Amino acid sequence: MPGVYDRFNMDLSNGIRAVDAGEEITAMRIIKTDLLEIVKLMEMHRQNQIKREEETEAKIAEMKKYYYSQEGMEAEKAKWRQIYYSDLKEKEKVVNEEEEESLEDTELESDDDEESLEVTELESKPMMEPQLPPSLLPAPPLSPPVLPPPPSSDN
């Protein structure tokens, strides 16, 4: 009965090959479907990217048109003026606060200074150098004599 067995094996192996081929076709179909979905997603992504680029370009064109218009230029100037003056006001506040603090400090120091001045005046009086008599004082520098202008020869 070897013939029956061989025939059974052949049928079995052919069946396996057919199943393998069927699975392969099914797998290929799945891969093809997945690839088509990926391609569609990539196309959609690219279209979205193009759309965003066009929207950005349109916004840039609108901004250029606005900024180059008289109204836009005035609005920009006003905006930057506002920023500039608000910065100046902030700096002015800081300077005023510093001045107030320094005035308070100087008032406190001036009270201390008055007391220290009295002490230094008392200390400095006995230490003063004696005055020299006028004959020993250095002479003031002599100035050159003033000469009359030369006579003019208009005759």
Is residue 76 one of the residues assigned to a domain?
no
Token pair in block for residue 154: 């208009």
Which of 15-29, 55-69, 91-105 shows the lowest mean pLDDT across its residues? 15-29
Q: Is residue 144 part of a domain?
A: no
pLDDT single digits (tens) 5-59: 565 566 555 555 555 666 777 878 888 888 899 999 999 999 999 999 999 999 9
Q: How far apart are CA 60 and CA 67, in angstroms?
A: 10
| Residue at 19 is within a domain | yes
pLDDT at position 113: 59
Distance CA 16, CA 12 (A): 6
Answer whether residue 144 shows pLDDT above 70.
no
Phi, psi of 138 (to 5 degrees): -65, 145
Q: Which domain holds residue 23?
A: 1-68
Identify the band that residue 74 occupies on the pLDDT scale cut at 50, 70 and 90.
confident
Compute the distance between CA of residue 143 and CA of residue 155 in angstroms, rounded to an integer: 35
Query: Between 147 and 120, whose confidence is greater?
Result: 147
Whether residue 126 is contained in a domain is answered as no
pLDDT of residue 63: 85
Does any domain span residue 147? no
How much is the pLDDT for 152? 72
Name the pLDDT band for 115 (thresholds 50, 70, 90): low
Query: At residue 123, does pLDDT exceed 60?
Result: no
Is 12 part of a structural domain of the chain? yes
Say yes or no to pLDDT of 127 above 60: no
Number of domains forming the structure of the chain: 1
